[in-house]
Amino acid sequence: MLLKTSDYSKNTPHPGSVELHEVLTRFVEPPFLFNEQGWEKWGLMGLLADFAVYYTQGDIVEIGIGESSFYFTHIAKKYGRKVYHCDIQVSDYENLSTVPDFFSDDNLMHCGPSDEFFANVELPKIALGFIDGDHLHQQVEKDFNNLFPLVTDNGYIFFHDLHPMDEEGTQENVCGDGYIFRQKLEQRGDVDVFTFPTSAWEAGLTIVRKIPHNAPYFQRNGRDDI
């Protein structure tokens, strides 16, 4: 079932979410992209997401909500888009919904597994997708395969946790083995892939661009198409 933010009670503010929002809104120029922690958390993602949505038609899909949701909500408001959120934890939605006057009914929220989300929610064309749910590579690949057909030409999918900081980070309760799917993507000819290894909590921010099928030869990458 797809719920709107107004379906959740806002009577009891969640201290952690309110404090997080207060921190995130103390940014330098450009607005709402960086906080005092600079590159170490989501500032780079906010900057690149703003760029991606500015130049690309379509809405935003987020698999796995949290601090990133503030950035996508701000960008969606800025450019008149909608955000489709998916997370398995209803408490995450309840916490985020207590931030006064930030989320709106343009934030459409699904509480449940991402497989269920893609099966039951009618999604429009997508300018930007963000995959930060189950980190096992089979599920990361499944989320990508469900989302990729919806992404517009030259649209983007961002990933978190596909570049573990060390071998310990490959454990299931940290980054898991999602990096295996990143390595598969890097061999494909229909996407461009780049990973910033030291951003996003030091777990990597991977950027995938969907290359149009009719792109001229001089705009393609050097790999064979699949």
Write down the pTM of the prediction: 0.84
Beta strands in 42-135 (DSSP E): 59-63, 83-87, 107-111, 126-131
- Which residue bears the tokens 């390595």? 183
CATH number at residue 17: 3.40.50.150
Cα–Cα distance, 24 to 35 (Å, whole number)? 6
Cα–Cα distance, 81 to 61 (Å, whole number)? 11
Residue 99 lies in a domain: yes
Residue 226 lies in a domain: no
- Structure-token pair, residue 130: 């963000």
Residues of the chain short of pLDDT 70, as ranges, are: 1, 3-15, 24-38, 169-170, 174-175, 225-226
Domain count, the chain: 1
In one-letter notation, the amino acid at residue 206 is T
pLDDT of residue 28: 47
pLDDT of residue 103: 79
Q: For residue 91, give its domain range.
A: 2-219
Cα–Cα distance, 156 to 44 (Å, whole number)? 15
pLDDT of residue 106: 83
Residue 224 lies in a domain: no
Residues whose CB falls within 8 Å of the CB of residue 51, separated by 6 or more in sequence, listed in order? none
- Contact (Cβ atoms closer than 8 angstroms) between residue 161 and residue 178: yes
